[in-house]
Chains A and B, each alone.
Chain A
């Protein structure tokens, strides 16, 4: 059903700061359609900032030689425009929205994206059919749809709600910002299933995680280690295992991050 062409994300020399505090110090990253990239790194290394910036958060001063998606300059696009182009951020800390139900959020969201693609808005019946199918996928009860978004949800339920939204919106580029943290092993498998079902030649993923555990289920094509706002090492799947065994302490001795203190968690 895809009518949007596959798109690549290109980041060259991306810097981000809040006030005097530099958070990202020259990120280079290219993600081609169909690829899954994992980004690992210690707390405070800038992983979540990168995720937020990709989704369009405006809290940061940003410069870059290139920061584009599908050839379009991301810095010129509002968060809603990026979402409509297919970028989806599964939030590390999903917000509670009292008075707005999940079903309302999904409907507004899906229809905004469909309008942008020139597709007709779904009627209530078709929409509910789709949502209920996805709901089963993430093993959520239907009543969750009619409750306020994330209000009095447990940590795990909030993360499932993010997975549900990803499943319904079918993004081209999904950024999972520590979606695995707080999930039990069953929920982790649901997340992996959700990603597996979406995975295809025209979709890509950025999986931000602290643990290599998730990468046993979502096998990445590339793994990047982020430290002090820079990608200090890139490699294949085996790099994640190395982290698992050695932790991040060795980073301080690596060239490229020499002398730069790592932020404490």
Chain B
């Protein structure tokens, strides 16, 4: 199929009729506004401070058609996704293929009482009014082009509501599959997670590919953590070599809530996460736990920000990166302590391990403090494997690859150890081992 370059704006005009929530005037306004801003400002460039190390120019030369414009979506079989499931058959599972919910592959029969999981598309088409304040309210402060496009094109995603005081024993597994079939597609996903007052739950957002074909995934996830609620949120990226992944994660925490993010990124040509957590109620606590493993020419960029708005909140951020080959890692950690946020307790640390001379990392921890009675610390390190330690292990009969595995596993151990769900921990350990096989 020969196509002349189509701009996102033209694309939007022609596809408007396919997007969900046709009857919702506010949604139409939201989409229009985002698209207007996008057509004014376009995609981010390396001149934007937050995009200094992540150049998307090569990506823009490739063409991706919106996944929802594909007339014959690729059929994915249960056997295709079998290896992406965790060893717990009773874990509720919602599968999205190329940006659209797939009920045949999903298993929602095991959803515990008090936990609702629906396709965003379905909610927008049938019950859209309930989402107005959420979707309108979640526009980030400084949206970049990808977020604007996400708002304009949001098509489907997971809409998760945990009813007040619900304690969900099992995590929910949200599996996003890129089929890689046919013409390269762009998926526009929007997830909403609402942890009701006093509830406890865990959600696993998991991105995989069925091959190494080019694909673009543009996702925004919004988490509302109501008073006293606790949400443990995993974001696992293990897409194929052709995958480009742009994600925004926006978290708002009410009084005495706890939010734990585990952000694990491996694989893919380019992964960019914008993670923003606002501590808006006293006594709220957030933990941002991150691990990125890059090799080959992979590029992984995590831009994180924590805003302490009110007193007596704590934030902990631990990100670790292991970069091999010609991989590049970028970490930016911004902690903002507002004037009212006395007694803030904020810690941030980013450690990096470079396994080759050509691997690279740019790390930028930043503290911005306007309150005077706070406890804040930050730091970052970049190091290599110690040759004396490698020699010691080899002198004990352990071959070089295994010695490196042991040391990288040890390096990542505290990050992996913080993950409360055992099957995910085991997945992460296997991944580290497999990635170092050569």
> Is A78 in contact with B394, judged by CB distance below 8 angstroms?
yes
Partner of B394, one of A80, A104, A169: A80
Taking the closest CB of chain A, its distance from the CB of B22, in whole angstroms, is: 54
Chain A residues at the B interface, C-beta cutoff of 8 Å: 55-57, 78-80, 82-84, 88-89, 91, 94-95, 97-100, 104-105, 108-109, 112-113, 116, 148, 165, 169
> Is A97 in contact with B402, judged by CB distance below 8 angstroms?
no
Q: How far is the CA of A80 from the CA of B409 in the complex (A)?
A: 20
Q: How far is the CA of A109 from the CA of B395 in the complex (A)?
A: 9
Number of cross-chain contacts by CB at 8 Å: 71
Partner of A112, one of B397, B409, B410: B397
Q: How far is the CA of A55 from the CA of B409 in the complex (A)?
A: 25
Complex contacts, A113 vs chain B, CB 8 Å: 397
Taking the closest CB of chain A, its distance from the CB of B243, in whole angstroms, is: 30
Partner of B388, one of A55, A95, A108, A169: A95
> Is A83 in contact with B406, judged by CB distance below 8 angstroms?
no
Complex contacts, A104 vs chain B, CB 8 Å: 406
Taking the closest CB of chain A, its distance from the CB of B220, in whole angstroms, is: 35
Which residue of chain A lies nearest to B408 when distances are taken between CB atoms in the complex? A99
B47 at the interface (CB under 8 A from A): no
Q: How far is the CA of A57 from the CA of B394 in the complex (A)?
A: 10
Complex contacts, B399 vs chain A, CB 8 Å: 78, 80, 112
Complex contacts, B64 vs chain A, CB 8 Å: none
Give 19 A-B pairs besides A55-B395, A99-B409, A108-B393 with Cβ atoms closer than 8 angstroms: A56-B395, A78-B400, A80-B394, A80-B395, A80-B398, A80-B400, A83-B397, A91-B392, A94-B392, A97-B393, A97-B407, A98-B410, A99-B411, A99-B413, A100-B410, A105-B393, A109-B396, A112-B402, A169-B397
Complex contacts, A80 vs chain B, CB 8 Å: 394-400
Taking the closest CB of chain A, its distance from the CB of B160, in whole angstroms, is: 35
B141 at the interface (CB under 8 A from A): no
Q: How far is the CA of A205 from the CA of B344 in the complex (A)?
A: 60
Complex contacts, B392 vs chain A, CB 8 Å: 91, 94-95, 97
Q: How many residues of B contact A (CB 8 A)?
A: 20
> Is B395 in contact with A83, judged by CB distance below 8 angstroms?
yes
Taking the closest CB of chain A, its distance from the CB of B199, in whole angstroms, is: 35
> Is B391 in contact with A169, judged by CB distance below 8 angstroms?
no
Show 29 residue pairs from A and B whose CB-CB distance is below 8 angstroms, ordered by the A residue: A56-B391, A78-B394, A78-B399, A78-B400, A79-B395, A80-B399, A82-B395, A83-B395, A88-B395, A91-B392, A91-B395, A94-B392, A95-B386, A95-B389, A98-B410, A99-B407, A99-B410, A104-B406, A105-B393, A108-B398, A109-B397, A109-B398, A112-B397, A112-B398, A112-B399, A112-B402, A148-B410, A165-B396, A169-B397
Counting chain A CB atoms within 10 Å of each CB, which of B391, B397, B400, B402 scores highest?
Answer: B397
Q: How far is the CA of A8 from the CA of B19 in the complex (A)?
A: 79
Q: How far is the CA of A112 from the CA of B394 in the complex (A)?
A: 10
Taking the closest CB of chain B, its distance from the CB of A130, in whole angstroms, is: 16
Taking the closest CB of chain A, its distance from the CB of B381, in whole angstroms, is: 13
Q: How far is the CA of A88 from the CA of B393 in the complex (A)?
A: 11
Complex contacts, B386 vs chain A, CB 8 Å: 95
Complex contacts, B393 vs chain A, CB 8 Å: 97, 105, 108
Q: How far is the CA of A94 from the CA of B410 in the complex (A)?
A: 18
Taking the closest CB of chain A, its distance from the CB of B400, in whole angstroms, is: 7
Q: How far is the CA of A105 from the CA of B409 in the complex (A)?
A: 13
Given known A105-B396, A109-B396, A112-B397, contact A79–B410 (CB-CB < 8 A): no
Complex contacts, B388 vs chain A, CB 8 Å: 95
Taking the closest CB of chain B, its distance from the CB of A147, in whole angstroms, is: 13
Interface residues in B391-432 by Cβ distance below 8 A to A read 391-400, 402, 406-407, 409-411, 413
Q: When A and B form their complex, which 9 residue pairs have the shortest distance between CB atoms, in order from nearest?
A: A99-B410, A83-B397, A79-B394, A109-B396, A112-B397, A80-B394, A55-B395, A113-B397, A95-B392
Q: How far is the CA of A100 from the CA of B410 in the complex (A)?
A: 6
Taking the closest CB of chain B, its distance from the CB of A104, in whole angstroms, is: 7
Which residue of chain B lies nearest to A96 when distances are taken between CB atoms in the complex? B389
